[in-house]
């Protein structure tokens, strides 16, 4: 038995939800480029969960179900108010709140298909509300209730800021949600599948997935990209900054990918948005700096930008706090996690690989008083 480091190249599951073949990403066979340009996030949720695009009636029904389930149990809001939140990372708050949500759901441990679908709706609907409520409560502001007349993208920005977003903001945020929704067997999705393959419940699966997304090698990279842009500060400092990182063999956040070789097809959409939004908000230097960083990392290291790189300047331009970038990733990716969890349940076998043992050979036990 020989271990494959990081399970590289190992095919651990079948899926009908998304595919990455020759650097092309599809959701259920639809190219991500088409979905990014045309689809609403709700359409994508339907696609991932039902493996077909909805007709108008099906879409309206899903939107209605989501809107009806966006409010949080008062206990989740009260719990946020209990803690001193200044030093709590919003991903930790989200992880805890999702686990807590399970305590309020009478169907949490009911494993029938219909009950699992109802829980999927509840989680998809409530996660944006959790992120927005946390962001406000930690600033001493009251949470804003969702509006029945807004879609998920607009509602999230509305609940976060307390004012209705304009069309450009909604379009950009919707596109970001579409682009982040699913990505085959990435680390957090795999985590979710491993968890529920023991026939544990959906809340446990999503809580585990949030924990995996939080890390800076995965979803946490988008916050780190913004930290890098802020640290660099101006375009004339980029070369020195990067060369020092290269010398120290440090990773440049927002670059590299386990699967893509030529580049991440989502990055170009975010790059375009970054150019537009940074100009509109009077901060074009964030886009210009990002382009220069990309040029140097790709030409000197041959490593292309991934989805996290330009999403940082996009979210910053939307006026979103930097430590909310990864929770926003979760607002979108929960759709994919839920799709994979439902798929796992539908054809389950426990996921239990082997390990190559590299420790000492057989040893003789020595009693503690003789050691």
User: Could you list the active site residues?
Assistant: 257, 308
SS3 (DSSP) at 273 = helix
| Min dist. Cβ of residue 307 to ligand OAA (A) | 5
All residues at 6 or more sequence positions from 216 whose CB lies less than 8 Å from its CB, including other chains: 223, 224, 253
| Min dist. Cβ of residue 202 to ligand OAA (A) | 19
| Min dist. Cβ of residue 312 to ligand ACO (A) | 10
Q: Does 6 bind ligand ACO (CB under 6 A)?
A: yes
Token look-up 């339907």 returns 46
Q: Does 258 bind ligand OAA (CB under 6 A)?
A: yes
Q: Which residue of 156, 255, 286, 337 would you call a contact of ligand ACO, by CB under 6 A?
A: 255
Q: Does 303 bind ligand ACO (CB under 6 A)?
A: yes
- What stretches of 201-324 show up as alpha helix (H) in DSSP? 202-213, 221-232, 238-247, 267-280, 284-301, 307-317
| Min dist. Cβ of residue 219 to ligand OAA (A) | 7
Residue nearest to ligand ACO (CB): 256
Q: Residues touching ligand ACO: how many (CB under 6 A)? A: 18
Two structure tokens written together for 9: 């190249």
Q: Which residue of 138, 183, 193, 269 would you call a contact of ligand OAA, by CB under 6 A?
A: 183
Q: Which of residues 9-38 bind ligand ACO (CB under 6 A)?
A: none
| Min dist. Cβ of residue 132 to ligand ACO (A) | 22
> Within 10 A of 216 (CB to CB), how many other CB atoms are there?
16
Q: Which residue of 307, 328, 331, 334 would you call a contact of ligand OAA, by CB under 6 A?
A: 307
Residue 50 interface partner, choices ligand ACO, ligand OAA, none, CB cut-off 5-8 Å depending on type:
none
CA atoms 98, 103, 107, 111: torsion sign: positive
Residue range at the interface with ligand ACO (CB under 6 A); choices 46-54, 201-209, 234-242, 251-259: 251-259
Residue 335, phi-psi category: left (phi > 0), alpha (psi -120 to 50), beta (remainder): alpha
CB distance 41 to 178 below 8 Å: yes
Q: Identify which of residues 80 and 309 has a Cβ nearer to ligand ACO in the complex.
A: 309
Q: Does 211 bind ligand ACO (CB under 6 A)?
A: no
CA 239 to chain centre: 30
Residue range at the interface with ligand ACO (CB under 6 A); choices 55-63, 90-98, 168-176, 303-311: 303-311
Q: Does 308 bind ligand ACO (CB under 6 A)?
A: yes
Residue 73 interface partner, choices ligand ACO, ligand OAA, none, CB cut-off 5-8 Å depending on type:
none
Q: Does 199 bind ligand ACO (CB under 6 A)?
A: no
Q: Of all helices (H) and strands (E), which one includes residue 2?
A: none
d(CA 254, CA 265): 14
CB distance 131 to 328 below 8 Å: yes
Q: Of all helices (H) and strands (E), which one includes residue 15?
A: none
Q: Within 13 A of 346's CA, how many CA atoms are on the CB side? A: 16
Two structure tokens written together for 235: 């375009």
d(CA 277, CA 317): 6
Q: Which residue of 97, 181, 195, 253 would you call a contact of ligand ACO, by CB under 6 A?
A: 253
Q: Which residue of 306, 313, 317, 332 would you call a contact of ligand ACO, by CB under 6 A?
A: 306
Q: Does 186 bind ligand OAA (CB under 6 A)?
A: yes
Strand partners, 324: none
Strand partners, 26: 19, 31
Q: Which residue of 217, 230, 240, 280 would you call a contact of ligand ACO, by CB under 6 A?
A: 217
Q: Identify which of residues 72 and 176 has a Cβ nearer to ligand ACO in the complex.
A: 176
> Helix axis angle, 221-232 relative to 284-301, nearest 10°?
100
Residues at the site binding ligand OAA, with contacts judged by CB under 6 A: 183, 186, 257-259, 306-307
């Amino acid at each position: 038995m020989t271990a494959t480091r990081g399970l590289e190249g190992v095919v651990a599951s079948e899926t009908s939800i998304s595919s990455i073949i020759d650097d092309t990403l599809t959701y259920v066979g639809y190219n991500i480029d088409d979905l990014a340009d045309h689809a609403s996030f709700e359409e994508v949720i339907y696609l991932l969960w039902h493996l077909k695009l909805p007709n108008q009636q099906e879409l309206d029904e899903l939107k209605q179900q989501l809107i009806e389930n966006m409010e949080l149990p008062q206990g989740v809001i009260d719990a946020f108010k209990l803690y001193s939140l200044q030093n709590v990372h919003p991903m930790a708050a989200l992880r805890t709140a999702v686990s807590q949500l399970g305590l309020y759901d009478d169907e949490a441990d009911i494993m029938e298909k219909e009950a699992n679908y109802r829980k999927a709706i509840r989680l998809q609907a409530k996660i944006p509300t959790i992120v927005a409520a946390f962001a406000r409560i930690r600033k001493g502001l009251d949470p804003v209730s969702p509006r029945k007349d807004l879609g998920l993208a607009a509602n999230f920005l509305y609940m976060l800021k307390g004012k209705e977003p304009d069309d450009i903001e909604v379009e950009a945020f919707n596109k970001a949600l579409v682009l982040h929704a699913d990505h085959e067997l990435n680390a957090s999705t795999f985590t979710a599948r491993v968890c529920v393959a023991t026939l544990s419940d959906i809340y446990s699966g999503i809580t585990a997935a949030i924990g995996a997304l939080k890390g800076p090698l995965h979803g946490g990279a988008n916050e780190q990209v913004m930290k890098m842009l802020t640290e660099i500060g101006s375009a004339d400092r980029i070369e020195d900054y990067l060369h020092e990182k290269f010398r120290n063999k440090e990773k440049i956040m927002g670059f590299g990918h386990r699967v893509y070789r030529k580049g991440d097809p989502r990055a170009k959409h975010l790059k375009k948005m970054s150019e537009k939004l940074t100009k509109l908000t009077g901060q074009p230097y964030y886009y210009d700096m990002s382009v220069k960083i990309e040029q140097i990392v790709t030409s000197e290291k041959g490593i292309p930008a991934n989805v996290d790189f330009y999403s940082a300047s996009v979210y910053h331009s939307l006026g979103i706090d930097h430590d909310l970038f990864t929770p926003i990733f979760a607002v979108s990716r929960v759709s994919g996690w839920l799709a994979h969890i439902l798929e796992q349940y539908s054809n389950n076998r426990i996921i239990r690989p082997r390990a190559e043992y590299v420790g000492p050979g057989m040893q003789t036990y020595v009693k503690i008083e003789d050691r």
